[in-house]
Chain A
Amino acid sequence: MMDQQLKLYIKGMVCDRCIAVVKSAMDDLGYKHTDVGLGEVTYMQQENKLNLEALAGRLTIFGFSILEDPKQRTLKELKNLVTEVYSGDYDFPEKFRFASLVKTSLNKEYETVRDIFIASENKSLEQFIIEFRINKVKELLLYSSLSLADIAFRLNFTSVPHLSTQFKQVTGLTVSHFRDIKRIKADVIYSHN
């Protein structure tokens, strides 16, 4: 795509010398006459794509770094958090709520984070968590000798029936049926994960 204006955000710029340094780094990569402000680079997409890695390498020498898109970063942090919480080893506090955990560990409002998630993933965060959790149930059923009660506890289901109901809802199978067929179907399910 030509003629597209793109923006980069750069950390560590504080004065006119910084601007000159960043400008010459862009120059070296074939992007002449770029508009550089404090912390911001605006450039037109050219035929040869700007090599971000090369730019980052050059800027690091001078003590700068390229900032990740804030939304992408939030998304990554959020997914990491889900992975951590529903790993099967998480120590759930009493009255655990994911929303309040988001607030304390990501320092952002749950509503904001949820909206970012929906906008870029095209499904709700709640749906994502449910799917992640059920996949974890499958994994534990297949690869561990934990009882269903143990699994329910480790993944913070309120009860075994709660787990079973949700499992049925998402997979269409009952837990016991899944267990019965697990050996035969193991390969198939594995490839679905």
Chain B
Amino acid sequence: MEAYKRNHTFYNFDLVMELFIKNMVCDRCIMTVKQALDELTLDYDSVQLGEVKLNAGITGSQFATLKEKLRITGFELLDDQKASLVNRVKSCIIKYIHSDEDTAMNMKLSVLLADKLETDYNYLSALFSSVEGITIEKYVILQRIERVKELLTYNELSLNEIAWKLSYSSVQHLSQQFKKVTGLTPSQYKQAKDTDRKPLDQVGS
């Protein structure tokens, strides 16, 4: 643990009230994380996508145990500030694209991100690209196409309605982008036997 502390000098565990967790994308993820916290009897205020707010500080060994527990379920407890910030950007984007509230889409993403994370967008953008190897814009496109795939498999909305729901300027725009990313047209995708959907935490990697 001492070596761990030396390498992560900015982390004073007693003062840690906020934890950042990678790969959380949906309500089931939140549930899983809550379970892990409960098992360690860590008192938390709230658990959101990628973010846990604790009511009390966490000890170094608790941190390590939690990290291991989360790793088993496919998450990563982040202890690096830059990685945490990138992770928050991702969570924000996932919420923005995959939530069912239509209103969320009205805001420009760059404004939303800068606003939510209280950080300059140019900085976020540069950091994201350097850590992830793709730009924020590209990541958003990939997430959005994943959402289109999901909606297509449900067979409930027409392509027109999907385009509108996801704020594409037109069906043509959606179709073109879809083909560019997946190599298939939306209707070809619908007919394909293997849907080939990606877990949201693996999009863009």
Residues in chain A within 8 A of chain B (CB atoms):
9, 11-12, 14-21, 37-40, 62-63, 67, 70, 107-108
Contact = CB atoms under 8 A, between A and B. Distances in A.
A107 B164 CA distance: 14
Contacts of B201: 15-16
A117 to B, nearest CB: 17
Which of A14, A16, A19, A39 has the most CB atoms of chain B within a 10 A radius of its CB?
A: A14
B74 A16 contact: yes
A39 B153 contact: yes
A83 B105 CA distance: 37
B199 A15 contact: yes
B25 A15 contact: yes
Contact of B153 (A9, A16, A62): A9
A116 to B, nearest CB: 12
B73 A17 contact: yes
B150 interface: yes
Contact of A11 (B27, B28, B31, B154): B154
Interface in B124-181: 150, 153-156, 158, 160-161
Interface string B34-77: 00000000000000000000000000000000000000011000
Interface residues of B, number: 25
Nearest to B151: A11
B150 A15 contact: no
B82 interface: no
Given A14-B98, A107-B158, 6 more contacts: A15-B201, A21-B28, A39-B197, A62-B27, A62-B31, A107-B161
Contacts of A17: 26, 28-29, 31-32, 73-74
A178 B98 CA distance: 59
B200 interface: yes
Contacts of B160: 107
A74 to B, nearest CB: 9
Contacts of A12: 26
A16 B154 CA distance: 19
A171 B32 CA distance: 64
Nearest to A22: B28
Nearest to B100: A12
Contacts of A108: 158
A12 B32 CA distance: 16
A67 B98 CA distance: 18
A90 B48 CA distance: 49
